[in-house]
Structure 1
Amino acid sequence: MRSSNPVFSRRGFSRDNGHAGFNAAPQAGAAATGANPYAQGTAANPYATNPYATNPYAQQGQPGAPAPARTDAMTIDDVVTRTAMTLGLVVVAAAAAWWIMPVDQANLGTAYGVAIGAAIIGFVLSLVNSFKRRPSPPLILLYAAFEGVFLGIVSNIVSVYVAPGAAMQAVLGTMAVFAGVLIAYRTGLIRVTRRFYGFVMAAAIGFMLLMMVNMLFAVFGGGDGLGFRSGTLGIIFGIVAIVIGACILALNFKQVEDGIAYGAPREEAWLAAFGLTVTLVWIYIEMLRLVAILQGDD
């Protein structure tokens, strides 16, 4: 079962992957599922009834036969450390771009050009990182740097011309969403099941299609497209986008948790950090847009 976040939809973070490098036993006494990657889990597998029931790191062999534990398995500390490094670089790059790149009327065109260039490079790097067979820390950090430049310039422009203080409000909103989803996930208020996964995937695909249609109308029809970026419809659209991002964040937590439980290699912590960064950047951008709409309507 794959996540709508492209980073988490491959290698060790998907149930339908049998990458040879991940053949390790589940930690904490979980049982291996054998050679069939779609086989139902045994009674020892607490995830037997959800989309993440199988062990992508199981050693091939007899069902239920334990394999030697990995000595280089990913831990929660690894994920937290790499995520802090990646997000920290996003923040540093954003702050630097905010202070270095002027956004006054004389330099506004240049600022937009730099922001668009950084966004394009960041997008290309995100694709490269998503499809590489092994995580590349330098490329992941490079993505974070360019994404930070884009966010810093755009946030500054919005704060100066549209909604003063919008960037800080968007940061606080993103932090609140992250904390809320994490608490809800850890306390069991959010349970990642097949039905939950299907709902999130359908919503995410529908949202992306609407964005594409709106972009086409804006490009060829002029104006604001279908009106998803302003007014009441824009507010509703922004809230839906943030809710979808929060749901994807819950999927990310579940897949990272399963990767740790099943002994994913330590290098996969970089992949986890990259995926979480992509999701949080998504939430921040939608939060910034929502704040701008709300303040712009005042």
Structure 2
Amino acid sequence: MRSSSNPAFRNLPRGAAQYGPNVGFNQPQGGVPGYGPPQTSAGAGDRPMTVDDVVIKTALSLGTALVTGVLTAIWAISQLPVDAAGRITGISGGVIGALVGGMLVGLVISLVIIFKQKPSGPLTLAYSAAEGVFLGAISGLFEALYPGIALQAIIGTAGVFIAMLVVYKTGAVKVTPKLTKWIIGAVVGVAILMLVNLITSFFGFNPLRDGGPIAIIFSLVVIGVAAFSFLLDFDQADRMIREGMPSKWAWFAAFGLMTTLVWLYLEILRLLSYFQND
């Protein structure tokens, strides 16, 4: 299986040969001649994975994150102290706790899923819920400062996701080994730059995140890299389907897509904040 920039898709086991070939995102399903073989009659617990499995699991994960995120954002806004003019005067400890707690819990669960290399619906949904709390707390803060920014970020994230899905399905951009290496290299490069910028920010030098021209360009680059990472996510899920991996692995595909969605949303939210009036 081809490498991916998403750690969730690395070192996956090979598909179950006993199921035979299956059809992926770019191939219609069913037993009509020319459209791939019909599905086997294996039990629901070990039948081959299908596109519908990936769509349903991803929708459940995304829905969990959205519900917890919206509820957390509403709560976070209500917890922020304001002055008589309605201006935010600080950040409550509860909001900080939700932000840090959601981030750490999500990180721990993601590491468990990645290193365990086994699909788990409960863990994937727990990860989505934790990320929802994390994103909700951040979104609440940004929304209180810049009303409407969270919805704009959600629309932007959905737009990029749909656009890249169309690009993948139409074959406008082929996922080749060369492109895969380029995207992985770009992800690693972005991660290194973020780490260096984080370290230098402690010394008052924060060019990649200060809202200036360089920061805007960097955010656009990161958004582009995250967008192209979707192509690798789609390709890996497609390969899992065509190799006949059991349906439970759709949870793993959903987890991989969720990690990229979270990354993209955060970067779009940050970019939008650069253009807001103080």
TM-score normalised to the size of structure 1? 0.79
Partner residue, 1:8: 9
| Structure 2 equivalent of residue 37 of structure 1 | none
Residue aligning to 2:195: 212
Distance 1:255 1:70 in 2: 24
What is the alpha-carbon root mean square deviation over aligned residues? 2.1
Structure 1 residue 70 displacement after superposition: 7.8
1:108 Cα shift? 2.8
The runs of 5 or more residues in structure 2 that have no matched partner are 24-38, 82-88
Structure 1 segments, 4+ long, off by >6 Å, are none
Aligned to 1:267, what secondary structure does the other structure show?
Answer: helix
Query: What CA distance in whole angstroms lies between the structure 1 residues aligned with 2:237 and 2:216?
Result: 32
Which residue in 2 is equivalent to 1:136? Answer: 120
Aligned to 2:142: 158
> What residue identity is the alignment partner of 1:124?
V
Say if 2:233 is the partner of 1:258. no
Task: Confirm or deny that 1:23 pairs with 2:17.
Answer: yes
2:80 corresponds to 1:103: yes
Q: Are positions 1:120 and 2:104 aligned together?
A: yes
Counterpart code for 1:126: S
Tell which has more relative contact order, 1 or 2 (C-alpha 8 A, sep 6+).
2
* Cα deviation, residue 263, structure 1: 0.5
Matches within 5 A, 1:1-298: 1-12=2-13, 18=14, 22-24=16-18, 26-27=20-21, 71=42, 72-101=47-76, 102-104=79-81, 105=89, 108-161=92-145, 163-219=146-202, 221=203, 223=204, 225-296=206-277
Measured in 2, the distance between the counterparts of 1:224 and 1:186 equals 42
Assess if the C-alpha contact under 8 Å between 1:235 and 1:294 holds in 2: no
How much does 1:106 deviate?
Answer: 6.0
Cα distance per residue 1:4-36 (max 9 Å; x no partner)? 101111214xxxxx5xx733454259xxxxxxx
Equivalent residues of 1:87, 1:277 under 8 A apart: yes
Count, aligned residues: 250
Identify the residue that residue 63 of structure 1 maps to in structure 2.
none
Q: Hey, what's the Cα distance between the residues in 2 that align with 1:121 and 1:10? A: 24
Change (3 A) 1:148 1:131: same
**What code does the residue aligned with 1:11 have?**
L
- Give the letter for the 2:190 counterpart: F
